[in-house]
């Protein structure tokens, strides 16, 4: 009888925790309905690497940090709750309380994805916040271009059928353009320099082409923002873009509470199972 009372109390505690999560609008089935996605990048040529901080506006004590993000580095998408956020970029190793070299505040809407990048030269560095698409029209792919090459002030980008960017100025980004899926050659032209790359675009996929500086001149990479019919972004670079900077995350209250509730139920079930096993063994003797 005492064991049953203990179990009942544990169930009650777990139920209260579950109710608290429900009141906050969070449950395993509905968590993603209030979430958005954010990825961050350092697209400022000729500048030192930075540590990039992402945190809820007004709450800098619990940031996600991307360490040592060099020029051309981009993170994967990170799922965050909808609301206002701050991105702050600081010199590598600087304290979290030190003045950022670049910072901005922006809103994350539920179901939307964003790219937040540092862009511009060291003398004119600024934050660029872009709203990303997660799906393309049926039978098409979406492509946009970010011009992050300071060596070339204007760049023209196109494939065999479409001009994706016409004399795009440094520090600018185009809107998405619908293009036919398949493998094609994309050409990049700027003041006496031309380069090209072969890309394969799946139907329904979404991509961001980034024009970068390199020691040998113009460098081009392509990000996959979303693939196929997915409703959530993929975020990974299709051909590199410098890789993903390491990040630190701080576990939140909600995952901890959910784990505790599940753990309490498991403990109660284990105790009952052990008690029954002992009774069975005793009866056998």
The residue written with tokens 């961001």 in the block is 208
In a domain, 68, yes or no: no
Question: What percentage of the chain exceeds 70 in pLDDT?
Answer: 68
Both 275 and 208 in a single domain? no
In a domain, 94, yes or no: no
Query: DSSP assignment of 89-102, as one string?
Result: EEETT--TTSPPSE
In a domain, 100, yes or no: no
CATH number, domain containing residue 215: 2.60.40
The Cβ of residue 82 has, within 10 Å, a number of other Cβ atoms equal to 15
Both 151 and 207 in a single domain? yes
Both 218 and 261 in a single domain? no
Bigger pLDDT: 281 or 186? 186
| Domain enclosing residue 171, as ranges | 135-230
Place 51 in a pLDDT band, splitting at 50, 70 and 90.
very high
pLDDT recorded at residue 5: 52
Is 0.85 surpassed by the pTM of this model? Answer: no
In a domain, 172, yes or no: yes
pLDDT recorded at residue 72: 92
Taking the C-alpha atoms of residue 193 and residue 271, their distance in angstroms, rounded to an integer, is 73
Residue 31: closest CA among 80, 88, 85, 89: 80
Give residue-wise pLDDT tens across range 74-86. 999 999 999 999 9
What is the arrangement of strands in the sheet containing 247-248, beginning at the earlier edge strand?
A: 102-108, 83-91, 50-56, 64-69, 247-248
Both 185 and 262 in a single domain? no
Bigger pLDDT: 228 or 40? 40
Both 151 and 219 in a single domain? yes
From 97-111, 162-176, 248-262, the region with the lowest mean pLDDT: 248-262
Both 206 and 276 in a single domain? no
Both 212 and 278 in a single domain? no
Both 225 and 163 in a single domain? yes
Place 234 in a pLDDT band, splitting at 50, 70 and 90.
low
CA atoms within 13 A on the CB side of 281: 6
pLDDT recorded at residue 248: 54
Residues 27/21, Cβ–Cβ less than 8 Å:
yes
In a domain, 65, yes or no: no
Both 226 and 264 in a single domain? no
In a domain, 163, yes or no: yes
The enclosing H or E element of 66 equals strand 64-69
Structurally, how many domains does the chain consist of?
2
In a domain, 72, yes or no: no
Place 52 in a pLDDT band, splitting at 50, 70 and 90.
very high
Both 153 and 189 in a single domain? yes
In a domain, 145, yes or no: yes
């Amino acid at each position: 009888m005492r064991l049953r009372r203990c179990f009942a109390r544990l169930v009650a505690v777990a139920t209260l925790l579950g109710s608290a999560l429900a009141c906050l609008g969070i449950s395993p089935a509905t968590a993603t309905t209030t979430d958005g996605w954010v990825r961050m990048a350092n697209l400022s040529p000729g500048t030192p690497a930075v540590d990039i901080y992402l945190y809820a506006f007004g709450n800098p004590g619990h940031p996600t940090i991307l360490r040592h993000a060099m020029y051309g580095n981009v993170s994967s998408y990170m799922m965050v709750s909808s609301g206002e956020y701050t991105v702050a970029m600081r010199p590598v190793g600087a304290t979290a309380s030190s003045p950022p070299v670049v910072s901005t505040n922006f809103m994350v809407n539920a179901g939307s994805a964003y790219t937040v990048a540092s862009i511009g030269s060291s003398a004119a560095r600024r934050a660029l916040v872009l709203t990303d698409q997660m799906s393309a029209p049926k039978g098409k792919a979406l492509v946009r271009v970010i011009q992050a090459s300071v060596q070339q002030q204007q760049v023209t980008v196109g494939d065999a059928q479409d001009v994706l960017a016409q004399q795009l100025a440094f520090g600018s980004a185009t809107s998405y353009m619908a293009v036919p899926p398949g493998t094609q050659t994309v050409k990049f032209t700027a003041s006496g320099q031309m380069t090209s790359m072969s890309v394969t675009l799946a139907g329904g996929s979404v991509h961001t082409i980034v024009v970068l500086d390199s020691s040998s001149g113009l460098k081009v990479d392509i990000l996959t923002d979303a693939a196929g019919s997915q409703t959530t972004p993929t975020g990974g670079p299709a051909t590199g873009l410098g890789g993903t900077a390491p990040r630190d995350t701080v576990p939140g209250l909600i995952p901890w509470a959910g784990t505790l509730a599940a753990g309490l139920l498991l403990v109660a079930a284990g105790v009952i199972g052990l008690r029954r096993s002992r009774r069975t063994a005793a009866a056998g003797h």
